[in-house]
Copies of this chain bind each other. A is one copy, B any other.
């Protein structure tokens, strides 16, 4: 039965359109056409477009923040190893590129939408707090751990969004350098 899509299928399709064309192109009629179902079948799962958009943001949060930090924590109990993993998050490959596209589209959307803004702020906040905890666990003071976390997070975001041409080998070299720089205590006299 063609109309029997799961809500997840609608959310995924809406996320793809958002990533490729921006939020204004996420329209129920176009999605229905693309999924080859009736427009009416949308309303079996969602009250309206706003509910779909809330679910899109929720799915993004689950995938790009909660699952990610849980995965990193599971992989290594050691905070130093976790930091290394954060720095080395893949930026090439289809899944990483798609994730970067989605995130950029949501950030652009958040510039003129309060709900998207709130999701983005929560995601940034949660990731920075997670990284700050790692620096705290390594002995840095609370404020300094937050500053280092912000700078490190900025670096990771830039790696996925700034396409400055860099070979994989050079990128690994840069990652290792930044890891050392970010972990080095400040000299008292500088």
C-alpha gap A143/B176 in the complex (Å): 13
Compute how far the CA of A54 lies from the CA of B155 in the bound complex, rounded to whole angstroms. 30
Please state the number of chain copies in the assembly: 2
Residues of B within 8 A of A155 (CB): 150-151, 154-155
In Å, the complex CA distance between A125 and B177 comes to 20
Interface residues of chain A, those whose CB is within 8 Å of chain B, are 19-25, 101, 104-105, 107-108, 111-112, 117, 120-121, 124-125, 128, 143-144, 147-148, 150-151, 153-155, 157-159, 161-164, 173-174, 177-178, 180-184, 186-187, 190
- Give A182 Cβ to nearest chain B Cβ, in Å: 8
Known A-B contacts A158-B157, A183-B190; A125 and B164 likewise in contact (beta carbons under 8 Å): yes
B154 to A162, Cβ gap below 8 A? yes
The 5 closest A-B pairs by CB, nearest first: A154-B158, A108-B108, A22-B22, A154-B154, A154-B155
A24→B25 CA distance, assembly (Å) = 8
The answer to whether residues A121 and B163 also contact, given A24-B24, A147-B174 and a CB cut-off of 8 A, is: yes
Q: Evaluate contact between A181 and B177: CB separation under 8 angstroms.
A: no
Are B184 and A187 in contact, CB atoms less than 8 angstroms apart? yes
User: Cβ of B147 and Cβ of A178 under 8 Å apart?
Assistant: yes
User: Closest residue of chain B to A105, judged by CB?
Assistant: B108
Residues on the B chain within 8 Å of A125, using CB: 164
Chain B CB within 10 A, most for which of A143, A162, A184: A162
Tell me how far the C-beta of A178 lies from the nearest C-beta in chain B, rounded to whole angstroms. Answer: 6
Task: Determine how close the nearest CB of chain B comes to the CB of A21; give it in whole angstroms.
Answer: 6
In the bound complex, CA of A58 to CA of B112 (Å): 24
Q: Are A174 and B150 CB-contacts (below 8 A) given A22-B24, A121-B164?
A: yes
